[in-house]
Amino acid sequence: MRKQFKRPAWQYILLLGSLTSTLALALFIDAAQAQSESDQQYRLNIDVYSGIVPAGESNSEALLIQLAALEKGTGVAPAQLGNVVHIDHAADNAFDVAGAGETNGYKVAVRGRAIKQPDGRLKISFSELGVAPASSGAPELLLAPGERRLWRLPDIATTASATLETVVLVSAPTK
């Protein structure tokens, strides 16, 4: 015959109470961590790289590999693409971004508005992005802290043997 042990009810109540308080504490810590992550300080960087590329190299594997490394943050822009616009702004609640530059006689512009969302991401609405006149009506972007995005804008044929290549790197580095 087996011997059964019975615990007093107060021990079960004590165990249940300690489990409940541990679970509540874990949920509180998780919520506080999520709140601090959304409130963390970061910046908005927008870099426009543009330059003349021989027509046959516009979609070359070497150029595409360099652009992928630039997007990941493990490489620099290709040598033929100069940094024509650089914008660096603290990621405040709402702010305008604007910058302009010139490459090989072409004007390059960036204009937009950034608004910090409740989750901490930035919503960037561009009104101008790239080489005019093809720069109007540019897209919107949601960018989280620490994220990087690279956009390749449409090539512009400058001559029969060359194109103007323009890429935009948008990043939100954390401090």
Q: Specify if 1 maps to a domain.
A: no
Phi, psi of 2 (to 5 degrees): -85, 145
Tens of pLDDT, residues 72-117: 999 999 999 999 999 999 998 999 999 999 998 999 999 999 999 9
CA distance 157 to 163: 4
Q: Are 165 and 155 in contact (CB under 8 A)?
A: yes
Around Cβ 71, how many Cβ atoms within 10 Å? 17
Q: Which domain holds residue 32?
A: 7-39
Phi, psi of 157 (to 5 degrees): -70, 120
Let me know whether 12 and 76 are in one domain.
no
Let me know whether 63 and 31 are in one domain.
no
Q: Specify if 154 maps to a domain.
A: yes
Q: Specify if 2 maps to a domain.
A: no
Q: Which residues pair with 54 in a beta bridge?
A: 162
Tens of pLDDT, residues 10-63: 566 656 666 666 655 555 555 545 444 445 689 999 999 999 999 888 889 999
CA distance 49 to 36: 34
Query: Number of structural domains, the chain?
Result: 2
Q: Specify if 98 maps to a domain.
A: yes
